[in-house]
Structure 1
């Protein structure tokens, strides 16, 4: 009986996915192909179909998000790489749509994953987190500040998912030492979520939407330091405001919280939900990881002085960690290749929109010139936040940014850059649901939070976040 039920569920799931796939195809076909749009070339019409079809697949999740990226590239090669589907023409145009696979951003993001794995294997992330917490002390407001600070900083350079999972290792003994009815438990859990989501805004490698924005901007993109100068002021301000909200909404019923048990935390085994000791890590490995980590970040930050491209610097930790065995074959398999493929899909979509002239056509037919730019960006920002709450913010950014480039093609490069960066940053403010982001899901799995807790803090982030991002960035446009 159980086997029949499972088989029935699988069949229903497959039928449901196929239905969504076919429906997405039909909608895209009737929107892009059936109408006879004036001034729209054949190539641009096909690109409009690919854009609509991929956007619908990402929104409906008919197939995995990374699979949509593969589909985009295949459709671009077949529809746009050969004129009139003439495969005997020896055309090399199809190679153009494979360029994102060799994009410098791929190596930049790969470097971020490598740094995260190295820090995790040598427990440097945990060591640093404990140092910060003990420095801030045992007062509730200080604990929240310390937890949010280290989560924010780590999320700037390594995955917010990995950062949240590591921070949960520390939170569990803290939660166990608190009274069960102390509302401050929710404050520190939500503080981790907020800091992990917002902290990723701070650097190019902090979160995939940032990388997609940089890829679409191309030569007009800000440098590593330039991005930080744009993104850090609003992200720090948003995190500070949300910290204040958490302290007021979930006040602690205890004046001090015992954090001594953190000294014994070295590893958390998810399968047994127990704390266990791990083998001693050679000191030379720790020293090497610390040195490479610091040196890499310094090179990223000092790019304007030595002029070594940021992606080239990214090769440093990849090469050193693999040569010295800190990163092995199993670690390479654990890299979030699906995220990298998703970024590549977004870059391919942007290339197709620009190469076929679809951006120019949309820009001339939907004229935004003369309209209030602040209002236009706000509308796009809130749309991407709403979408990102129900699907991957990476996929949502992939959908929105090519449209922004197209619609803003008549507004000038500086305005378009302002719009793209603002909307990419706003994607990180989507955290209304337990499933909106991986950090949300990890915190929700602890059992200490309810859906309404995310709704409360998510609404504040979704309203206040875009306001500060769009306002502060407007001074640079």
Structure 2
């Protein structure tokens, strides 16, 4: 019930803010940087409305992303001539949307045949029965699965295993119970950062980066950005949680539940084998496209590979006579993150209009006073602000709202826009403190095994660790070793 007043207030405030900004006298500073100041002003008005609606959830987040379809024509934004022709519908079909569609069918096939469960239970059951290594097993299992599918699904899948093990522990092992339950959503969030398809935030941010500053990141490029960060942060998270909950001082525990569940899976089914082969083939194609075969198929993209994988799971039969295939339409269609597809489209509409109308240049001019500050310090500030905001709203919303602005800001103050954008994309995943921050947090809190103070205290420490690590990795690895964005 607590959210409803906020939603009502957000709805009213958003509408009023849009009307005031859209129809007040045009600022002279805005007229100085664009040929169509009235259009720019109304783009700003719609942007403010959408951001307020997103943050307060005045309307469902994906539905808010569809508002430009109504508001742009009514306010004379779409079709306005000037520096650029403001486009609308083509951005809702942005190419990255089809990466999400294709991966949805692959993920649906994994879930249908239980391949994801076999991978996770296999890791947990073989990692050992020491409390410290048990926590590590959960972290590795969830993080790996979350690299390739929804972090929410990875959390939902592994929490019952953790809770089943927790029931065998006595009252003296409360710290271990809490560590197991919290390690799952945290590992799902960190693991999802490693690949383009690991979280909906990554394709949203990558699409906006390409449309605003022209830097294109393929699957391998993002792997160089996200995977090193995940590899560094996961062991730090493990050490931190073991010490925070004093797990290293506990006796061995019984993990027979996980081992029995793994044993009950039996040998791999035909569907599991086919899904594993198709998925591994897609991973190889994604990683090698830019360095091996891409030059022979120049128009192929990561979306091409994803849709090829979707085609294969829909076309390869398991039982031809009974028309049973690796994946069926209902399963694949239902596993596509349609909310993320719509949000990505709306973000692209807003981001491009923000840039094309000249609003980004106007905001950048106002922030030009930051010029001369150390680039690393500015990126850290961006990271801290993003990490705080992401506790209150979804990380995809933070990316959609921030990145279009950062393009102009970076150019105005002499700091790489790419560095600030990547800082935003990484930091928006540091949502470890509150249940609303991410669905995995909410699911873990809903088990009743952890209290709010556990989530806040443990999450704050992990957030601080991540905020220390990210500028080092950004400037030392992403831009230092791999020269991405330089």
TM-score bucket of the superposed structures, by smaller chain: 0.7 to 0.9
Aligned pair partner of 1:30 in 8, 13, 20: 20
Q: For 1:440 and 1:156, locate their aligned partners in 2 and report how far apart those are by CA, in whole Å.
A: 17
C-alpha distance in 2, partners of 1:298/1:191? 29
Q: 2:41 aligns with which of 40, 45, 51?
A: 45
Of 215, 223, 235, the match for 2:230: 235
3-state SS of 2:67 partner: helix
For residues 30-179 of structure 1, the aligned pairs below 5 Å read: 30-31=20-21, 33-40=23-30, 41-78=37-74, 79-83=76-80, 96-179=87-170
1:215-234 to 2 correspondences below 5 Å: 215-218=207-210, 219-234=214-229
Q: Compare 335-344 and 45-54 and name the one that shifted more.
A: 335-344
Instruction: Map 1:289-300; keep pairs closer than 5 Å.
Output: 289-300=275-286
Map of 1:408 onto structure 2: 410
For the residues of structure 2 that align with 1:293 and 1:249, how far apart are their CA atoms? 37
Equivalent residue, structure 2, for 1:458: 459
The structure-2 alpha-carbon separation of the partners of 1:204 and 1:431, relative to structure 1 and needing over 3 Å to count, comes to same
TM-score by length of 2: 0.86
| Whole-angstrom CA distance in 2 between matches of 1:456 and 1:350 | 35
Question: Does residue 1:213 correspond to 2:205, yes or no?
Answer: yes
Q: Displacement, 1:69?
A: 0.2
Distance in 1 (alpha carbons) for counterparts of 2:267 and 2:140: 26
Deviation at 1:97, TM superposition (A): 1.3
3-state secondary structure, aligned to 1:410: helix
Query: Could you tell me whether the CA contact under 8 Å between 1:141 and 1:247 is conserved in 2?
Result: yes
Residues 334, 157 of structure 1: alpha-carbon distance in 2 compared, 3 angstrom cutoff: closer
What RMSD over aligned residues (CA atoms) do the two structures have, in Å?
2.6
Q: Secondary structure at the match of 2:172?
A: coil
Structure 2 residue 235 is matched with structure 1 residue 249: no
Correspondence 1:301 to 2:287:
yes
Moved more, 120-129 or 327-336: 327-336
**d(CA) in 2 for partners of 1:234, 1:410:** 29
What do the CA deviations read for 1:409-434 (whole angstroms, capped 9, x no partner)? 3356x811111111111100012112
Q: Please give the alpha-carbon distance, in whole angstroms, between the structure 2 residues aligned to 1:214 and 1:430.
A: 20
1:352 positional shift? 0.7
Aligned to 1:326: 326
Superposition map of 1:223-372 within 5 A: 223-252=218-247, 254-265=250-261, 283-304=269-290, 305-307=292-294, 308-324=300-316, 325-331=325-331, 332-367=333-368, 368-372=370-374
Q: Aligned to 1:181, what secondary structure does the other structure show?
A: helix
Asked whether the equivalents of residues 359 and 409 of structure 1 are also in contact (C-alpha less than 8 Å), the reply is: no
Distance 1:193 1:55 in 2: 26
Alignment TM-score, normalising by the size of structure 1: 0.87
Deviation per residue, 1:178-229 (Å, 9 max, x gap): 2233011111111112111111111111112211211111141322111111
Tell me the secondary structure at the aligned position of residue 302 of structure 1.
helix
Residue aligning to 1:396: 398
Distance 2:375 2:18 in 1: 29
Q: CA deviation at 1:470?
A: 2.0
The residue aligned with 1:6 is none
The count of residues paired between Structure 1 and Structure 2 equals: 448
Aligned position for 1:272: none
Relative to structure 1, is the Cα distance of residues 282 and 454 closer, same or farther in structure 2, using a 3 angstrom cutoff?
closer
How far the C-alpha of 1:334 sits from its partner, in A, is 4.4
Write the distance in 1 (CA, Å) between the matches of 2:110 and 2:80: 49
Does the CA contact (< 8 Å) of 2:124 and 2:258 recur in 1? no
